[in-house]
Amino acid sequence: MNVAQRLYEKGLITYHRTDAVNLSEKAISQFRDYILKKYGQKYVNPTTRHYKNTAKNAQEAHEAIRPTEVNLATLETEDSKQRKLYELIWKRAVAFLQAPAKLKSTKVVLANNNSRFVANGVVTLFDGFLKITGAEVDEVVLPEMAEGEKLPNQGVNLAEQKTTPPPRYSDASLVSSLEKQGIGRPSTYAPIISTILARQYVEREEGRFKPTALGVAANEYLVKNFKDILSLPFTAGMEEELDEIAKGKLDWKKMMKDFWSGFEKEVKTAEKDSERVKVEAEKIGEKCPECKEGDLVIRTGRFGKFISCSRFPECKYTRQYKELAGFKCPECGAEAVVKKTKAGRKFYGCSNYPKCKWAGWKKP
């Protein structure tokens, strides 16, 4: 969102805090002319696509995000993030008005007694909007076959596959899930993500969110004691009621009274009956060298993980924590460790730094 804000301030894109799905007539006319001159008539879609926004609480006061100048296809800047985001917006906006791609799909079913084997093929007949987006189709060309034709058996290979759990949320999939549930607005998605990271409820691991011990403990406590507040329909319903108040269709005093009557009971019950949640600290299997009594544990502070004595605050021993990455440095063979930038982003480096200066964003 910050990168988009800088592009907007430079006048390179239209207002970006919107989830509208259609462009203005002026932009459509300019983009059509550009496609006609650059790629030819066959790449211009004869009709304009129109979509209906299915997201709840959609903010469509502005048109969809697009470049302000269609002739500026590539942004000349030293900021790689701005360049990549601008080119993504440009490609998606222009491709929106291009002719659709044409693919030929083929499905072959092979029968062997009671068994069925299926082969799928696909070939690109016309690239259409793929010419601008740059997306590639993995073509699979099947040989010519006729119905009833017998094929020789050249062997059968058995491969065991296990059902994998669903992937953890990334920034994009989390925002998509919030949209489907009707939670939040385009202007609040970035603060939601930055808040759960800043409060260390989750941490990023190779581009995806992984819950921390603190996040799991906080979640269990809240779900146990505040079921109504933590339910997904509550947040979506609250936002709808706030919209009704803004339109003058709902009395805010009545809404707050209805909410507080139930919430007050939950707070009093939690204060009276709930137990304080303890975030279990991970032991590293060593005794504290200072007090000789406590165990050394891994804790999380403002600047990441560190090692301290389990008897804190009686014993204030601390030391730096080196989180092993689980692989060897590809340059010198020493243990690789997990590090963080000033912004809190994880990366991998060699434990022999500064003798070895290998570093990378992903595990090799």
Where in the sequence numbering do the catalytic residues fall? 15
Measured CA to CA, the distance from residue 57 to residue 236 in angstroms comes to 9
With beta carbons less than 8 A apart as the criterion, state whether 321 and 308 touch: no
- CA dihedral for 312, 315, 320, 325, sign (positive or negative): negative
With beta carbons less than 8 A apart as the criterion, state whether 347 and 339 touch: yes
State the angle between helix axes of 252-273 and 213-225 in degrees (0 to 180), rounded to the nearest 10: 110
13 has which bridge partners? 67
The closest alpha carbon to 63, from 93, 103, 99, belongs to 93
